[in-house]
Chains A and B, each alone.
Chain A
């Protein structure tokens, strides 16, 4: 019988294991298999194959039983996920229901998750801005977190690398705050957005309104056709899965690309319990996996492990990976594991109306919108709060019909709507400060359905965030006034953290092992063959959307990992 165990161990041994198949896990899978490594990709959710597993992708509006409204029983059973803008009748199948993975909200936190192959890359909002040196050197300058061990120059070539493959549309704007990338043609502006852009440019030297950079194929290149992807068709129902592969998702791009190498084994329904640390060898040897169907635990082994479970779950896995050597979580000599968690502040918005350009309107739909890069505290600390905020902006034209009558008059009115004026809107994307008091921990007693301790989340807004909300509202009001917009209304949703869906930190990078978990290659300081390249690795959060940076950091780390493996360093 002893032979049997050895066989089983050999059968479960790979060159590399990737935990998670979302936006960063997909890249780890593609890069590692592309470099010849036999790679096991573990996904806790079910398999979702490109096109065939997008059940509502071709459903017409009238075919939805409730016209995309959620049933009451769904809303009642899912108070958390029901708050997410992208969760509706046509997308229910891609979001984690509240009961499926319970967690402890030590402070209110709306944890938005997608457990399936592709993860949240199926339903993301697809904004892909590069970070600049103002973002990477911010912590060193302001002292609000530890210094990043990398700068823009370290990651720039990897941004280019992932942009070309993923397909990013945008305009080269030449801004130091938002470096240009390898862009496909940008989406089109409308008249009122252009008007706003010009008014802002005329009044402020340091404020810019640009077209958002988005992961949409506006003009396919050979590399996109090779992936089987085609031009974006402007359906704007992306979160149901795109049969054209018009936007980037792991499902349409990196995962099938990794599969084509013949080196990938994809194992859905695999909830990773912990990483196995071998004290004699002084390295991680594999992972423990609970099959979500059978609840059986199996061990898988590999030379290197990429942890890409999405920030909070990557923290959970490391916290749950205890051993004699690491009683407080794998690689946690510093004690900072789970701390300095951060997110983005999406609380505030400003809207208004405009009565110019009434002879023009728009036609078609656009899966993107203009963007206002950060302009606060860029070159020096000038405000009474740390860091800054970016903002989304868009304009559109409304139409109205008089619904006061009944009968034939009402019908006539409904079928002949009158074009109204233009409406404009903006939302903020503020950088939150990673603080020790914003932490993740394991609950001592409560377990999830797989017998794994529940994650305790203790994350909250602070005074810095409130000041930023106020400044954003004031500045956008000023800019809107300058543009001649009327009926300006500001709002603060006072939503709990989490709805930004930009979970970050807890396993931060840094130069000093005493104050950080990962080195400049996203490698655990203390366990060299474990790499964490999802949002957990973020030292600070910038004002930009983080997904493109996860992709670039992952490709960069995978390149390093394979070279280091060949040199016998891991």
Chain B
């Protein structure tokens, strides 16, 4: 039904939004090195398994875009700073770059960040993790294939048995 209606509508170019393939970045916040590191970081948070991980779904580009467009300067700087120090922390913990670490090493480092007593470090990790979860869960792939979002439910049933519920998220 959405397709039938969509066919009647001509959208202006600005309204077409982005897909996972084409992220238009209004501001290049990170250097290419920082961006590559961010990609590894989001992939560590949500890795490839039998389904794509965060990196393949371009969640790192989403994180960068959100921080560039929706957050204040101090948060942006903290993201840059956090990424810059991440490799240093990796060197200290397992004597290689973050990207070169294996899953267990990377995971251990993130657990350490989560518990950090350094507020900036903790905020950096919490920002990236929250945006990674948000970007992943609201990606086309996940919403279409895994959580089965219904754009047009066409109904509201107030009392259905728990087992029979079809997953659908608002907005």
Contact = CB atoms under 8 A, between A and B. Distances in A.
Interface of A: 51-52, 54-73, 187-191, 193-194, 233-237, 243-244, 357-366, 403, 406-408, 410-411, 414-415, 419
Given A52-B10, A66-B66, A188 B161 contact: no
Interface stretch (B13-21, B32-40, B86-94): B13-21
Nearest to B1: A233
Given A234-B153, A234-B154, A406-B107, A191 B159 contact: yes
Interface stretch (B77-85, B116-124, B129-137): B129-137
Given A58-B6, A63-B16, 14 more contacts: A62-B138, A66-B66, A67-B138, A191-B159, A233-B153, A235-B151, A360-B160, A360-B162, A362-B156, A362-B157, A365-B170, A407-B107, A410-B45, A410-B46
Interface of B: 1-2, 5-6, 8-12, 14-20, 24, 44-47, 49, 51, 53, 65-66, 69-72, 103, 107, 110-111, 129, 133-140, 142-143, 146-147, 149-162, 164-166, 168-171
Contacts of A359: 161-162
B158 A362 contact: yes
B156 A364 contact: yes
B11 A55 contact: yes
B133 A407 contact: no
Contact of B156 (A67, A69, A71, A187): A187
Given A61-B138, A408-B49, A360 B161 contact: yes
Q: Which 4 residue pairs are nearest across A and B when measured between Cβ atoms? A: A63-B17, A190-B158, A55-B15, A366-B156
A363 B165 contact: yes
A287 B135 CA distance: 52
Among A237, A403, A407, residue most surrounded by chain B Cβ atoms (within 10 Å) = A407
9 contacts: A55-B11, A58-B5, A61-B138, A193-B158, A194-B158, A237-B171, A363-B157, A364-B153, A407-B44
Among A58, A71, A191, A193, residue most surrounded by chain B Cβ atoms (within 10 Å) = A58
A233 B154 contact: yes
B48 to A, nearest CB: 9
A237 B107 CA distance: 39
Nearest to A65: B18
B15 A60 contact: no
Nearest to A73: B69
A236 B155 CA distance: 11
A67 B111 CA distance: 28
Given A67-B134, A69-B66, A407-B47, A363 B155 contact: yes
From DSSP, what is the main secondary structure of chain A's interface residues?
loop
A549 to B, nearest CB: 27
Contact of B9 (A237, A243, A360): A243
A181 to B, nearest CB: 21
B153 A361 contact: no
Contacts of B134: 67
A363 B156 contact: yes
B41 to A, nearest CB: 10
Given A362-B160, A363-B166, A408-B47, A403 B133 contact: yes
A244 B45 contact: no
A394 to B, nearest CB: 11
B159 A244 contact: no
B8 A51 contact: yes
A133 B44 CA distance: 64
Given A191-B158, A362-B160, A406 B44 contact: yes
Contacts of A407: 44-47, 103, 107
B152 A234 contact: yes
A472 to B, nearest CB: 26
Contacts of B12: 55
Contact of B17 (A64, A187, A188, A236): A64
A156 B136 CA distance: 52
Contacts of B149: 61
A249 to B, nearest CB: 16
Nearest to A190: B158
A364 to B, nearest CB: 4
A361 to B, nearest CB: 5
Contacts of B1: 233
B15 A72 contact: no
Contacts of B170: 236, 365
Given A60-B140, A188-B156, A411 B70 contact: no
A294 to B, nearest CB: 23
Contact of A66 (B45, B47, B70, B147): B70
A144 to B, nearest CB: 39
B147 A419 contact: no
A522 B102 CA distance: 76
B154 A62 contact: no
B136 A414 contact: yes
Contacts of A403: 129, 133
Contacts of A63: 16-19, 140
A410 B47 CA distance: 9
Contacts of B71: 72
A66 B19 CA distance: 12
Contacts of A358: 162
B23 to A, nearest CB: 8
A557 to B, nearest CB: 36
A491 to B, nearest CB: 22
A46 to B, nearest CB: 13
A567 B136 CA distance: 68
Given A57-B9, A406-B111, A364 B154 contact: yes
B134 to A, nearest CB: 7
A58 B46 contact: no
A236 to B, nearest CB: 6
A188 B45 CA distance: 40
Nearest to A237: B171
A237 B72 CA distance: 29
A406 B70 contact: no
A545 to B, nearest CB: 21
Contact of B146 (A69, A362, A408, A415): A415
Contact of A365 (B5, B14, B153, B164): B153
B58 to A, nearest CB: 11
Among A55, A62, A64, residue most surrounded by chain B Cβ atoms (within 10 Å) = A62
Given A188-B156, A361-B162, A415 B147 contact: yes
A71 B69 CA distance: 5
A216 to B, nearest CB: 11
B78 to A, nearest CB: 15
B69 to A, nearest CB: 5
Contact of B143 (A55, A61, A237, A243): A61
